[in-house]
Structure formats: C-alpha cells, structure tokens
Amino acid sequence: MAAGGLKTITWLIRLLQLFFAIILVGTISFMIDQFRHYGVSVPRELIVPEVFSVLAIIISGFSILSVFFLGYTLQLVAAFLDLAMFAGYLASSILLRDNYHRRSMHDPLRRALVDMRIAYRDPPHMRTNTGLVRLLVGLVVIQVVLFFVTTILSVFVARKMEKERGTGERNRGQVTV
C-alpha cells in the first residue's frame, strides 16, 4: 500500500479517536458531576479514563496534523504518544473490568449511580445510567483498539516517509546526461 493510502487510513482512524475522546469526556464529566452533586467520592474508574480522554483530544489533534504535514521524526513522536495513550486506555479498561456484565444490574458503577439517586429520593434513571456505563465501557475498549492500530500505522507511515525521502535524495544526487 502506498504511503498516501496509509496516511489516509491513519488520518481517518485519528478522527475517530478524536470524536470518541470528545464523547468520553462528556459522558464521564456527567458521571463525575453526579457523584459530586450527591457528595459521594468519585471512583478512580472514572478519573483515569477522563484524564486519558482529555489527553487523547490534545494528542489526536497533534497527530491529525502530523499525518500529512509533519516529517519522519514527528511521525515517530506521534507513534510514541499513541503507545502511551494505548497503555492509558488499557489501564482504564482494566479499572472498568467489573462493569462488563451482560446484565447491567451487576455493574458496580451503574449500581452506584442509581443507589445514590435513590438515597436522595431522586428518580433513579436506571436505563439512562445503564446506557452511560455501557457507552463508557464500549468506547474505552474501542479506544484501546484504535490507539493500538494507530501506533502500528504511525510507525509504518514514518518508515515509508523515510524510504521515500532516502530515494528522493539519491535521485537528486544523480546527474542525467
């Protein structure tokens, strides 16, 4: 596959990373607001993905630019940042491991959101909280996969750019008669 094709695929995946990170920030921020509103300490399984989602917005913005406009070295920097984000989202998915149940009533995060609302005699919003927890877990897992893929693609793009640059320099040195 040509470097242009790899760049386009990488760029599209980075756009997905950016969109999913924005959705995650909004979802997790709402959950954190609910915990703070009811005076309950925010669980770390919300804080870690929130931090990495905010970082993902910044890093994805940089990486989107790096695909087409920046050189070999910055492609490798983007690959390293993707690897760091992969590790962060992997840690987030491990923290959320207890929330992968088929039956949502067994998810501790959903139960905490519903129970604190019931304790204050507010409507529990069971379906809404179930959907939010499933969205959180699903998008974190998707981000793990996407950042792993872009780590590999960024290295391939950087290698292709280096090969093309080396070929171009060799061709410039030749004199045609």
Q: Tens of pLDDT along 130-176? A: 889 899 999 999 999 999 999 999 888 888 878 877 655 555 556 55
pLDDT of 32 over the 80 cut: yes
pLDDT, residue 170, reads 57
Q: DSSP secondary structure string, 29-55?
A: HHHHHHHHHTT-PPPHHHHHHHHHHHH
Domain that holds residue 123: 3-173
Angle between helices 108-119 and 3-37 (to 10 degrees): 30
Least confident piece of the model among 17-31, 47-61, 110-124, 134-148: 110-124
Longest dimension (CA), the chain: 88
What is the average pLDDT score of the chain?
86
Q: Answer yes or no: are the C-beta atoms of 81 and 59 closer than 8 Å.
A: yes
* Structural domain count, the chain: 1
pLDDT of 65 over the 90 cut: no
pLDDT, residue 172, reads 57
